[in-house]
Amino acid sequence: MAGRGTDIILGGNWEAEVAALENPTEQQIAQIKDEWQLRHVQVLEAGGLHIIACERHESRRIDNQLRGRGGRQGDPGITQFYVSTEDDLMRIFQGERIAALMGRIGVDDDMPLQHKMVSKTLEAAQKRVEGYNFDNRKNVVQYDNVINRHRRVVYVIRRKILEGADIKTEIERLIDLKVRELTVVPSKNNKNFFAEFEEIFPINDKKLKTIGAEKRDKQRYELAKKEVEKLYKAKEAELETETLRKVEREVYLQVLDTLWMQHLENMQHLREGIHWRSVGQRDPLVEYRSESQKLFDSLQATLRDEVLRAIMHVTVRDAVARAEEDHDTELTRLAENSVEKGVNEVLKGEASRDDEFKVQKGEKTNDAQRKKNTQRKKKKAQRQNRKSGRR
């Protein structure tokens, strides 16, 4: 009844009656129209369409749509709503108070009650429910906007990979970022320098020692970048340029798709439990945005590492196997296995933040507090000396 396109024609629908006949003549159509006109006039004289509703909906919009069934296109009509104090809407919002008031007055249960107070109570209840539903929808949209931003970034990257036959520029950008990350500190300050470097770029130990021993940051970066570029060119010569471009695109897409699916699952798990942050007087939406950004940063870092690892360790046999087979090959398995690490765990995230709910004073805080106390004591002693000098 409350849906759109449900116009109720007073007196019936004469067009439907004509459609029900097989090959109707003009005389039959005219007779049907005349009979409909008589019925239509009778209904208008009786007051038009009368709509009786047995309850009020929690949304005023639905009630207005139901009222709109009567009085369509200038036709007369009446709408009457019957509400019980035991209805859900009345029971939740002051329905018992009205029922108790009617009981004290001595009104019979079958006697209808029409008063502005009842109508205002119903409208107030509907406004509260509508406000509650609006807040829920707004909250859902705010959470969805977070994952939508991630989705746009990933889809833009994927579209560029699909549309571009040559992604060498993107691979070179990833190489530059990874080399900068690996050469932030020398091997003396990073015990895992050689292991982290060899995991991505298979460079011999002698050259790695030379890079790690360099104390100057700029020189260390340039040496590493030069060796990695040699490695990349050697890989390009080994597999041929055209073959390597195909390998890069396929590995990039495979790793990106796998990581994105896992990211969606991680975001869903985060969304389901983020409301517990409110126990620690934290805004769940702010915490969700912060944690989701950490997850997305982890996705980008894992994407960079696994793509470079797969490309730098691919062999001619893998590329040839991929060219001969259409589906499951050594190359696709290489890309699938490359994201095995980091997919099921949150990289660079926080395992637990329960310790933040405890009051802990760090060393820096204690030192600053001691300095403040010392300064206060000195000032207090100076003031006392001044007073004693005046006396």
Domain with 59 in it: what CATH number? 3.40.50.300
pLDDT tens, position by position, 8-38: 778 888 888 888 888 888 888 899 899 989 9
* Contacting residues for 59 by C-beta, under 8 A, at least 6 apart: 126, 129, 130, 133
> Is the CB of residue 251 less than 8 Å from the CB of residue 235?
no
Which domain range does residue 262 map to?
Answer: 142-327
391, part of any domain: no
Which domain-ending residue is among 278, 294, 327? 327
Nearest-Å Rg of the Cα atoms of the chain is: 38
- Shared domain for 179 and 281, answered yes or no, is yes
In this prediction, residue 297 carries a pLDDT of 92
- Shared domain for 190 and 314, answered yes or no, is yes
Read off the pTM: 0.58
Nearest to 90 by CA among 134, 137, 54: 54
- Shared domain for 37 and 172, answered yes or no, is no
Which domain-ending residue is among 281, 311, 327? 327
Over 90: is that where the pLDDT of 296 sits? yes
Identify the burial level of 302 via C-beta atoms within 10 angstroms of its C-beta, where 0-12 means exposed, 13-18 middle and 19 or more buried: buried
- Shared domain for 310 and 169, answered yes or no, is yes
- Shared domain for 150 and 282, answered yes or no, is yes
245, part of any domain: yes
- Shared domain for 59 and 198, answered yes or no, is no
198, part of any domain: yes
57, part of any domain: yes
- Shared domain for 172 and 231, answered yes or no, is yes
Rounded to the nearest integer, the mean pLDDT of the chain is 78
Residues forming a β-bridge with 78: 50
In this prediction, residue 243 carries a pLDDT of 84
More confident residue, 150 or 204: 150
CA-to-CA separations, 217 to 184, 221, 301, in angstroms, rounded: 7, 6, 22
d(C-alpha 17, C-alpha 33), whole Å: 10
61, part of any domain: yes
- Shared domain for 33 and 146, answered yes or no, is no
- Shared domain for 43 and 148, answered yes or no, is no
- Shared domain for 192 and 299, answered yes or no, is yes
- Shared domain for 82 and 175, answered yes or no, is no
pLDDT tens, position by position, 233-283: 888 888 888 888 888 888 898 899 999 999 999 999 998 888 888 888 888
To 5 degrees, how large is the angle CA 333–CA 334–CA 335?
A: 90
233, part of any domain: yes
Number of structural domains, the chain?
2
d(C-alpha 174, C-alpha 256), whole Å: 14
Q: Which CATH number goes with the domain that contains 279?
A: 1.10.3060.10
- Shared domain for 199 and 97, answered yes or no, is no
Which domain-ending residue is among 77, 105, 133? 105
Please report how the helices 217-239 and 205-213 are oriented relative to each other, as an axis angle in degrees rounded to 10. 160
In this prediction, residue 357 carries a pLDDT of 37
